[in-house]
Amino acid sequence: MPSKQSSSEFLLPWEQQQNRRQKRKQQQSDSADVVQYVKYGAGIAAGITVVGWIKRKIQGIPVVGILATPFLCLMPTVLLGTAVGAAVVYGIDEGDPMAAQKKVLPKVHKRLKAASTEVAAVATDLGRSLKDIHGQHLAAAEMAAREGQVAIARMASSLDAAAAEAEATLAPAVERHVKLAKKQLDRHAGEYNGWLQQQQQQQQQQQQQHGRSRQLLLSGTSSDG
C-alpha cells in the first residue's frame, strides 16, 4: 500500500510563497532585534566608560575632587552610565537627542503615578480590613503593628547613628585633606619665591659684573689716550 501523507505536506504555489514571505519577515525581524541589542549594548558600555572617566577626572582635581567624592559615591557608575548610554542610543534612533526626556520620562511618571495610586488603594483596603477584624485577630494585628513600629524605630536610630558616624569621620577627613592641600600650596609658593629671589640675585650679580667690566674698559681707554 502507498504510504499515507498528511495534507500539510501538499501546499499550493501561493501558499508556499506566503510561507516564504513569513519566514523572510521573521528573519528580518530577528536580525533587526539583534542589531538593536548590539546598539544598546554598545551604548550602555560607552555610557559606563564615559561616566567613569568623568568621575575619575573630577576626583583628580586637588580640592574639588576631595569635596565631590561623597556626592559621586551616591551616583553608581553602572546605573548612571547605563541610563545615559541607553538614552543616547534611543535619541539617535528617534532622531532627537531629547527624545528620552520627552517620551520616556512622561511614561515613567505616569506609571509611577498609577503605581502610587494602586498602593494607596491597597493601603486603604488594608486599613478597612484591619478595622473589620475583631477579637483575637484584632489583638494579633495590634501586636504586629507595635512590633513593626518598634522595628521602624530601631531602624531609624540605626540610620541616625550611621549618619552621625559618617559625619564624624567625613568632616575630619575633609578638613585633613584641605589642610594638606593648603600646606602643599604654601610649600609650592615658598619654593617659587625662593627661586624668584635667586633669579633676582643672579641678575644683580650679572649687572655688577657688567658694570665692573665697563669701568675697566673705560679706564684702559683713558690710559691709552
Q: Domain limits of the chain?
A: 13-97, 106-132
For 2-22, how does the pLDDT look when each residue is reduced to its tens digit (9 = 90+)?
444 444 455 555 566 666 667
User: What mean pLDDT is predicted for residues 76-105?
Assistant: 70
pLDDT score at 3: 47
pLDDT score at 37: 77
What percentage of residues in the chain have a pLDDT greater than 90?
0
| Sequence-ordered alpha helix ranges (H) in the chain | 13-60, 64-73, 77-94, 99, 105-132, 135-224
For 176-205, how does the pLDDT look when each residue is reduced to its tens digit (9 = 90+)?
655 666 676 677 677 877 888 888 888 888
pLDDT score at 206: 84
Lowest mean pLDDT of 37-46, 52-61, 109-118, 186-195, name the range.
Answer: 109-118
pLDDT score at 175: 63
Q: What is the dihedral of CA 112, 116, 122, 124, to 10 degrees?
A: -170
Please name the amino acid found at residue 105: L
Residue 45 has a CB neighbour count (10 Å cut-off) of: 13
What percentage of residues in the chain have a pLDDT greater than 70?
47
CA 225 – CA 216 distance, rounded (Å): 14
For 97-144, how does the pLDDT look when each residue is reduced to its tens digit (9 = 90+)?
665 565 555 655 565 566 567 666 766 766 676 666 555 565 666 677
Closest CA to 45 of 75, 73, 86: 86
Check pLDDT > 60 for residue 225. no
User: What mean pLDDT is predicted for residues 168-181?
Assistant: 62
Average pLDDT, the chain: 69
